[in-house]
């Protein structure tokens, strides 16, 4: 199952190769982290904060997602979260809502790939 999950994520642009190197090639550990990613509520919390325009708490969730996605090799999601954190901190300008919508597409695709790999 881990190899299938890793293959599916690679097709989405997830940097599984370097992530596995950091995990000493242990696909089982990587799979466990990916399954925990499905259970993580930070993305849902971020969405709720953005809908309430609660940018202070949204910063915390985006920052956490930045770390998690970076550690799991989800470079595109990581990049969006990094940009969102910079916007919240006032280090750059940007449209947070549009950035979140792009992140949402990536996030959902990753979650679907992980879920489908678990069920097959």
- In the prediction, which pLDDT does 24 show? 96
pLDDT at 114: 96
CATH number at residue 89: 1.20.120.160
Axis-axis angle for helices 27-39, 96-119 (nearest 10): 120
Looking at residue 105, what is its pLDDT? Answer: 97
pLDDT at 21: 96
Place of tokens 């997602």: 65
Please give the biggest Cα pair distance in the chain. Answer: 44
Count of the separate structural domains present in the chain: 1
Give the residues of the chain that fall short of pLDDT 50. none
Query: How far is 56 from 88, CA to CA, in rounded Å?
Result: 8
In the prediction, which pLDDT does 7 show?
93
Separation CA 34–CA 109 (nearest Å):
13
**Is residue 97 exposed (0-12), middle (13-18) or buried (19+ Cβ within 10 Å)?**
exposed
Backbone φ/ψ region at 42: left (φ over 0), alpha (ψ -120 to 50), beta: alpha
What is the residue range of 43's domain?
A: 2-119
Q: What is the pLDDT of residue 13?
A: 95
């Amino acid at each position: 199952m881990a190899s299938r999950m890793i293959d599916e994520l690679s097709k989405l642009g997830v940097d599984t190769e370097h992530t596995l190197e950091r995990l000493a090639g242990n696909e089982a550990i990587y799979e466990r982290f990916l399954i925990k990613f499905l259970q993580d509520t930070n993305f849902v919390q971020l969405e709720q904060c953005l809908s309430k325009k609660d940018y202070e708490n949204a910063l915390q969730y985006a920052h956490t997602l930045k770390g998690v996605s970076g550690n799991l090799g989800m470079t595109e999601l990581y990049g969006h979260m990094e940009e969102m954190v910079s916007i919240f901190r006032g280090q750059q300008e940007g449209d947070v809502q549009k950035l979140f919508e792009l992140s949402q597409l990536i996030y959902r695709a990753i979650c679907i790939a992980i879920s489908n790999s678990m069920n097959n």
